[in-house]
Amino acid sequence: MPRAMIWFVAGLLRDQLREIGTRKGTRILTCFRQAVFILAWLRDGGDIERLGAGFGMSRATAYRRHREALDAIAAQAPTLAEVLAQAVREKLPYLILDGTLVPIDRIAETKTSVKGKDIDAWYSGKAREQCANIQALAYPDGIPAWTSDAHPGSEHDLTVARAEVLQIAYPYLGDLVLLADGGYVGTPHDVKTPVPQPEAGRPELSEDIRTYNRILRGLRFQGERGFALLFGLWKALRHVTMSPRRIGDLMRATLVLTQFEHKIIWR
């Protein structure tokens, strides 16, 4: 773990303690050791209670320090409006919109499907397991720029994007283009998606449209790099055992740390 990252997180925790008025020397962990604790968990995942015991903390204290450290880091993440406004100011050619599924423990929560049936809310038919749906924007070079709150895995990418991204993005789309895959067909004109293959018996796609699809794939693939950076660096994302409602904060915390490594700081 880069020492600069530990000091970065320790500084956030120090500011948090000053804000809430915690007296110096009243905690078992210094800000530096608490930073090591949360970064160790984010990097390798595992049992919070067991990791906390290695730092001399009880079960309850370990969970409290874990939550407050995660909150302190996640609070530094940029909002969607900030990311879009910056992209327009810097005249970026485009941002990449994509979604991913984060595996979670089984949850006994149901919802009514469009066909009127009760289904597992967090079960993804695509992944065939319990998941949370996260939407994200990436810069043209694939560095993640923003991540959304968590939605149940049964929800389609387009449904989540309409709730988390498109409503806020509408005012910026005249000056900014978003690139997306075929799961986002039906979005506004400035969200570029591939043209689907025609059904049997319909004319084939023209050479111009096939070229457009190839160019779009060639630009959009960098969005996969953004998720690869997040899931590759931070093993805590590979199977989340905490409440799925907290996955949005977990994603934002890993986003902040990944941007720190690539010298993109929002402060």
pLDDT in tens, 18-45: 888 877 777 889 999 999 999 999 999 8
Task: List pLDDT tens digits, range 58-86.
Answer: 999 999 999 999 999 999 999 999 999 99
Indicate the pTM of the whole model: 0.90
Tokens standing for 16? 């948090």
The answer to whether residue 231 scores a pLDDT higher than 90 is yes
**Is the Cβ–Cβ distance between 128 and 154 less than 8 Å?**
no
Indicate the pLDDT class of residue 267, thresholds 50, 70 and 90: low
More confident of the two residues 263 and 7: 7
**Around 25, how many Cα atoms within 13 Å sit in the side-chain half-sphere?**
0
Kindly give, in sequence order, each residue whose CB lies less than 8 Å from that of residue 104, ignoring residues fewer than 6 positions away.
122, 130, 131, 132, 153, 239, 240, 241, 244, 247
Indicate the pLDDT class of residue 192, thresholds 50, 70 and 90: very high
* Helix or strand holding residue 133 (H, E): strand 129-138
pLDDT average, residue stretch 223-236 = 91
> What integer pLDDT is reported at residue 108 of this predicted model?
72
pLDDT average, residue stretch 149-164 = 91
Give the percent of the chain with pLDDT over 90. Answer: 62
**Whole-angstrom distance, CA of residue 124 vs CA of residue 156:** 9
> What integer pLDDT is reported at residue 266 of this predicted model?
61
Task: List pLDDT tens digits, range 195-212.
Answer: 888 777 778 888 999 999
> What integer pLDDT is reported at residue 224 of this predicted model?
87
pLDDT average, residue stretch 246-251 = 95
* Helix or strand holding residue 259 (H, E): helix 247-261
How would DSSP label each residue in 53-104?
HHTT--HHHHHHHHHHHHHHHHTTSPPHHHHHHHHHHTT-S-EEEEEEEEEB
Indicate the average pLDDT of the chain.
Answer: 90
